[in-house]
Structure 1
Amino acid sequence: MDRKEFLKKSITSFGMFSILPVLNACESKTVSTDNQTDSTNIGSTNGTSPGDCSVTNAETAGPFPIKDAASLVMNNIKGDRLGIPLTLKINIKNINTSCGNLPNVLVDVWHCDAKGEYSEYGGTGLQAANNTNVHWLRGRQTTDSNGLSTFESIFPGWYSGRAPHIHVHVYTSGGKSLLVTQIAFPKSICDTVYTTASDYKSKGIQDTTNEIDNVFRDGFANEMGTLTGSVSEGYVLTHNIVVSA
């Protein structure tokens, strides 16, 4: 079974996707310099105020979910992976307090490397490369008093059938699952990275956009991350995730 088929079956089997209007999708813009690598986008504003507060879309954790996050409590999750530096600043908000900050919850993240491969899996039809004995680009943090969790990583690559994305799973401190979701990326910045950065450009632009992606195509307005930075300096991704706690 290939990745496209797995994702289609996940959607049919679990029905985990919220339907949100694409009309509210984020506004993007590109700020060009001489080498046209500096970019910024304005992602989802969900969670910024009581009037802009809805639970973030639930999504599938598969096909490569994190196996033992408790053993991967770390801020820097790069491992030995090469790529453009990416700082993740994920804010967890509680819809039951009008999107107030949610401290002391667990945030797990995982994503593929610049080549589109995942750690902890492989040697099968879903991923030919066997990375079963390594754990890069996976980690866990606990939110601080402001509901913030921070990770140092690299800009994710892509693989056929999926738009670029990062997986996030939020738990209570006691281990109760609050939400599994994904973070989407703006195409304009992905295009810049995948056509100019040395660790990515041999593969070129992704073959699947957010609009036709099996996960995001039912609405990704509240899953779009805000990115600032450049290929030369690295990027910072800031994103609010709203849960019911």
Structure 2
Amino acid sequence: MHHDHDSKHDHDLGLAHDLSRLQRQAFERRAALRWLLGAGAISLTGASAMTLAGCGGGGSSATTSTSDSSSGSSSSGGSSGGSTTTSSCSVIPSETEGPYPGDGSNTANGSVANALALSGIVRSDIRSSIAGASGVATGVPLQVIIELVNTNASCADLSGYAVYLWHCDALGRYSMYSSGVTAENYLRGVQATGTDGLATFQTIYPGCYSGRVPHIHFEVYRSTTTATNWNNKLRTSQLCFPSDSNTAVYATSGYGNSATNNNAISLSSDGIFSDGYSTQLATMTGSVSAGYVARLKVGIAA
């Protein structure tokens, strides 16, 4: 009741008082609005600063790229193990694992073919066979660097995941399956991703067999602990190469009919990559004499 009385009493002071009070209230509202706008600007500036702080290679976000002057390719620079961070990332297309996965999903020579169950399969250098087999794959040296990123978190690097990678040898044969190498398990291996999202493999440049462009298969797992059977995989895809490195490699000895097979097909006519390969084409550096480095950013929705 006291509040009602004061309100009525103020009103009874006359028009001049009311106008003065309204002007004062309008001034206070404008001042408050200016303060809020200023606070919003400060907040936006802070957000922008945080975004800028996240730029660069190997971090938790991917917002910039730099040019590799030696190859004309986009990379973050640094050593051969450097990040391939660029301004955006997409979920890597899901592709068939093919007939020679060695992940426990099919059989070879009458028994389940599962290289993931072999002792020593978690390794970086995959050129030698393991678990009692002694074969060694030869060819032009190739380092494959997979950067695993989360497309649901601004391309943040994914640490502690696992990549199982496999491919054919220089003559187009797959260990565990192909005639002459059924007792071997080379060119197969698993690597955990580091804090920079990278999984690195030392291998050889794969040969080219009839009907397919040169390629590498890989599967993504949540960890090396779950990378024991195909049932646990999160994604299966394939990596391809630029034509100039294919041509250079297949001009060397030891690659059988790879040059002929490679000349008979292209990425646009390949049964896997003909629908698009922009997110699967490796960025290449190096040479036949020095060896090559293939980098690929692999996005998954983690």
What is residue 243 of structure 1 aligned with on the other side?
Answer: 300
CA distance in 2 between partners of 1:151 and 1:160 (Å):
25
CA distance in 2 between partners of 1:203 and 1:220 (Å):
21
1:42 equivalent to 2:73? Answer yes
| C-alpha displacement of 1:178 | 1.8
What is residue 73 of structure 1 aligned with on the other side?
Answer: 122
- Asked if structure 2 preserves the Cα contact closer than 8 Å seen for 1:106 and 1:143, the reply is yes
CA distance in 2 between partners of 1:96 and 1:120 (Å):
37
CA distance in 2 between partners of 1:181 and 1:89 (Å):
15
Pick from 118, 139, 154 the counterpart of residue 83 of structure 1: 139
Could you say which structure has the larger radius of gyration?
2
* Percent pairwise identity: 40
| C-alpha displacement of 1:215 | 0.4
- Asked if structure 2 preserves the Cα contact closer than 8 Å seen for 1:87 and 1:236, the reply is yes
Alignment size in residue pairs: 199
Please list every run of 5 or more consecutive structure 2 residues that lacks an aligned counterpart in the other structure: 1-68, 77-83, 103-113, 129-135, 227-231
| C-alpha displacement of 1:243 | 0.6
CA distance in 2 between partners of 1:232 and 1:61 (Å):
31
Pick from 250, 253, 263 the counterpart of residue 194 of structure 1: 250
Pick from 88, 91, 104 the counterpart of residue 52 of structure 1: 88
CA distance in 2 between partners of 1:218 and 1:149 (Å):
27
| C-alpha displacement of 1:192 | 1.2
Question: Residue type matched to 2:91 in 1?
Answer: V
1:82–1:133 CA distance, 2 compared to 1 (3 A): same
- Asked if structure 2 preserves the Cα contact closer than 8 Å seen for 1:41 and 1:228, the reply is no
Mean Cα displacement is larger for which, 53-62 or 70-79?
A: 70-79
- Asked if structure 1 preserves the Cα contact closer than 8 Å seen for 2:209 and 2:258, the reply is no
CA distance in 1 between partners of 2:176 and 2:75 (Å):
31
Please list every run of 5 or more consecutive structure 1 residues that lacks an aligned counterpart in the other structure: 1-30, 32-38, 123-128
1:113 equivalent to 2:169? Answer yes
CA distance in 1 between partners of 2:74 and 2:169 (Å):
22
What is residue 204 of structure 1 aligned with on the other side?
Answer: 259
| C-alpha displacement of 1:177 | 2.0
CA distance in 2 between partners of 1:73 and 1:234 (Å):
23
| C-alpha displacement of 1:135 | 0.3
| C-alpha displacement of 1:53 | 1.9
Q: What is the DSSP-based 3-state SS (H/G/I as helix, E as strand, rest coil) of the residue aligned with 2:246? A: helix
CA distance in 1 between partners of 2:279 and 2:96 (Å):
16
| C-alpha displacement of 1:188 | 1.3
CA distance in 2 between partners of 1:198 and 1:65 (Å):
27
Between Structure 1 and Structure 2, the one with more helix by share is 2
1:138 equivalent to 2:185? Answer no
CA distance in 1 between partners of 2:101 and 2:71 (Å):
29
| C-alpha displacement of 1:166 | 0.4
1:64 equivalent to 2:94? Answer no
- Asked if structure 1 preserves the Cα contact closer than 8 Å seen for 2:75 and 2:85, the reply is no
Mean Cα displacement is larger for which, 197-206 or 106-115?
A: 197-206
What is residue 40 of structure 2 aligned with on the other side?
Answer: none
CA distance in 2 between partners of 1:209 and 1:178 (Å):
29
Instruction: Tell which has more relative contact order, 1 or 2 (C-alpha 8 A, sep 6+).
Output: 1
| C-alpha displacement of 1:170 | 0.3
Query: How does the TM-score come out when normalised to structure 1?
Result: 0.75
- Asked if structure 2 preserves the Cα contact closer than 8 Å seen for 1:169 and 1:180, the reply is yes
- Asked if structure 1 preserves the Cα contact closer than 8 Å seen for 2:171 and 2:256, the reply is no
